[in-house]
Structure 1
Amino acid sequence: MATKIRILLVDDSAVIRRLLTDVLSGDPTLEVADTAANGRIALTKLATVKPDLVILDVEMPEMDGLETLTEIRKRQPRLPVIMFSSLTERGAAVTLEALALGANDYVAKPSNSGNMSTALQRVRDELIPRIKTFCRDVLAPIPAPAAERPPAFKAWPTPASTPVSAPRSTPVPLAPRLRQRVDVITIGLSTGGPNALAALLPQLSAQLPVPIVIVQHMPPIFTRLLAERLATQSALSVAEGTAGEILRPGQIRIAPGGSHMIVERQGAQVRLQLNQDEPENSCRPAVDVLFRSVAEVYRGNALAVIMTGMGQDGLRGCEAIQQTGGSILAQDEASSVVWGMPGAVVKAGLADGQIALPQLAREILARVRVGR
């Protein structure tokens, strides 16, 4: 019989601890083994509770989430940690810092306004799949296939890639394709994405002759702060996309949280547009929405890059890009925090190759140079 996933829940709010315990205990595979009101108490319980995963509040008295995370990483570098943060400017900023320090992922707290039942359902839908993804080995008496198991946290740089000509982790043969001129790069990613972007974008030249459009699954505020953070690290212009903005070479535009982002051709120009259409794959922004529009506008001159993330958002969009003659690169399993999104594309036989994160910028730049 499978063992339950043991969770240490750390939050200074007794109400949140009670609500989360009720939410998590409703799943028969999960057990809130203990709780703590701040980081200092949590650290004293690590050795005795022996949790499989920690849910960690961002803002707490005595020892906050960042201090606690730093100490957890010293003691147990492989222990999965999910940050539980508020949808505020400070909450978003601290969460991004926590991801950079080694948190595996985050989930936003329910707001005080609106329907609490709906808010708790959202937390349940977002939190429980993440817990099971990061603790899959706890539930499985027989190890799952390597392609389905996310690696424990590891700092960049990651292991070197296998070459594009020798893809790994897939039995699907990848047929060679003629390379065409690239006029746009479109990137989709989710869990592990902020750190992956921080590793990738600074390696791209300031003279990049094409624009980059990105969907990173994140709520409002988070995407703006992510763009601002990346702008300080990259030689390229990085910002949230805005409606009606003309896409220009050397620009990186990230879809704002809460809005789908698409590209539209207007005469000789390509502009960004935003909309509030229904979520796809439970996401808004969704990778599929952006990729489909890129396929329609750029046809065979699009390069799609599908990177670390849970689920399979981006699969249908990659199908559209392949059907119109574009190219697709997938981040490899070894360097992905979760190989769900790129794995789905690889298993469908859509990727031209699997590239480790440290080699991805070089491969992108090589493809951009074709036809120039």
Structure 2
Amino acid sequence: MAIKVLVVDDSSFFRRRVSEILEKDRGLEVVGSANNGKEAVAQVKKLKPDVITMDIEMPVMDGISAVKVIMAENPTPILMFSSLTQEGAKATLDALDAGAMDFLPKKFEDIAKDRDEAASLLQSRVTALGRRRAMPARRAAPAPTPSAGGRTPVTPRPLAGRTPSVTASTASSDARRSLPAKRSGKRYKLVAIGTSTGGPVALQTILTKIPANFPQPIILIQHMPASFTGAFAQRLNSICKLKVSEAKDGDVLRPGHAYLAPGGKQMLVEGRDSNARLRIIDGGDKVNYKPCVDVTFAACAKVFGGDVLAVVLTGMGADGRDGARLLKQKGAKIWAQDEKSCVVYGMPQAVAAAGLSEASIPLDQCAERIIVEAGNG
């Protein structure tokens, strides 16, 4: 059965363009469209789509306001379209806060080399979200009132944590592999976390629980455009106890500090483990992801050897698997997020299927497990 999609945008041209791309995939069916958030809310009730693509800036009711209402009344996976600007980054983070699951740049040329690649990416993102079962309903909330400018003001806060269920398949071993929060006794010099789709929510869920006196530095690799990572790091820093910043070339790794890899670049680690520094280099054309979890994990293996606790969270694809293998060979400990709590069980599944992860952990237990294992619990 095809995945039913509702396309929401105030531009008829963009609605038509998105619909044409999606319907070229036989597994996707555009069942309707809407040109503002108010229409979208009504169409969701009527059509019950499996996935919604949503613009942010729209008349009558903006996209963020619509997401809030939909997630309160008829929870549905939502993919936002955003501009690659600082304001667009903040708005996208607000949309994720409201309950959206993923986002893509509205200008397709910003995410792909050609039209075919852009179309394939959009289709795959929608398909991944559509494979989820019905999401758990949130407490009903009154519909937000848009401001005069059309956008509902949003106060930055932790992104809403969600653990929607998925079709049970490869997760049959999750219950067995989730271990109690008991310290292994291993010593660490670094915690490294890699993620993609669903990562902003997952990272905030974890980092907001980490204490300021956490004994190791933490490096974060999140697939995200260059214009987004600065805003995301600022938001994390404003709501977390530990310090969070967008990584800069030459940063010395310090305990109680989390460093977010900048979008469009690769983040390496160099020097000795006792005085390691970050090296930020051009993303290059040979690697699909910028930043890339594999690249950073591999650099960590060279500098820190087995003294690393690496965690692979929700995301599409298999980025992180090869880097985790190099870390594992050095004696590092590898964990993966469990399938049930992932937005997309791709990256963690790749690590688990390769026999690299020691445990598959629910998102709401990750922070506690990291704190205990790192010796601060």
Query: Above 0.5 in TM-score?
Result: yes
Aligned to 2:4: 6
C-alpha deviation, 1:320, in angstroms: 0.5
C-alpha deviation, 1:349, in angstroms: 1.3
Partner Cα separation in structure 1 for residue 10 and residue 351 of structure 2: 41
1:273 aligns with 2:279: yes
1:80 aligns with 2:63: no
Aligned to 1:311: 317
For structure 2, list consecutive stretches of 5 or more residues without a partner in the other structure: 138-159, 165-171
- Choose the corresponding residue for 2:125, options 121, 126, 130: 130
List per-residue Cα deviations over 1:101-132 (Å, max 9, x = no partner): 21121111116xx7999464453232211211
Contact 1:310-1:340 at 8 Å conserved across structures: yes
Aligned to 1:169: 174
Contact 2:105-2:111 at 8 Å conserved across structures: no
Contact 2:21-2:123 at 8 Å conserved across structures: no
- Choose the corresponding residue for 2:13, options 7, 12, 15: 15
Stretch moving more, 276-285 or 186-195: 276-285
C-alpha deviation, 1:168, in angstroms: 3.6
Aligned to 2:372: 366
Aligned to 2:361: 355
Which amino acid in the other structure matches residue 88 of structure 2? G
Stretch moving more, 234-243 or 18-27: 18-27
- Choose the corresponding residue for 2:62, options 61, 64, 75: 64
Cα distance 1:252–1:117, how it changes in 2: closer, same or farther (>3 A)?
closer
Aligned-pair identity in percent equals: 40
Which amino acid in the other structure matches residue 350 of structure 2? A
Stretch moving more, 230-239 or 26-35: 26-35
1:92 aligns with 2:97: no
Give the structure-1-normalised TM-score: 0.85
Contact 1:295-1:321 at 8 Å conserved across structures: yes
Partner Cα separation in structure 1 for residue 50 and residue 312 of structure 2: 29
Give the structure-2-normalised TM-score: 0.84
Partner Cα separation in structure 2 for residue 115 and residue 353 of structure 1: 36
List per-residue Cα deviations over 1:304-337 (Å, max 9, x = no partner): 0111111111000110010011111111222222
C-alpha deviation, 1:267, in angstroms: 8.6
Partner Cα separation in structure 2 for residue 82 and residue 182 of structure 1: 37
List per-residue Cα deviations over 1:118-156 (Å, max 9, x = no partner): 4644532322112111223xxxxxxxxxxxx57736763
Partner Cα separation in structure 2 for residue 305 and residue 129 of structure 1: 24
Contact 2:31-2:49 at 8 Å conserved across structures: yes
Partner Cα separation in structure 1 for residue 200 and residue 30 of structure 2: 28
Aligned to 1:42: 40
Stretch moving more, 260-269 or 333-342: 260-269
C-alpha deviation, 1:280, in angstroms: 6.6
Which amino acid in the other structure matches residue 335 of structure 1? S
Cα distance 1:359–1:16, how it changes in 2: closer, same or farther (>3 A)?
same
Partner Cα separation in structure 2 for residue 222 and residue 173 of structure 1: 33
Aligned to 1:145: none
For structure 1, list consecutive stretches of 5 or more residues without a partner in the other structure: 137-148, 160-166
CA RMSD of aligned residues (A): 2.8
1:31 aligns with 2:37: no
C-alpha deviation, 1:169, in angstroms: 2.7
Cα distance 1:150–1:90, how it changes in 2: closer, same or farther (>3 A)?
farther
1:204 aligns with 2:210: yes
Partner Cα separation in structure 2 for residue 337 and residue 56 of structure 1: 18
Partner Cα separation in structure 2 for residue 275 and residue 331 of structure 1: 28
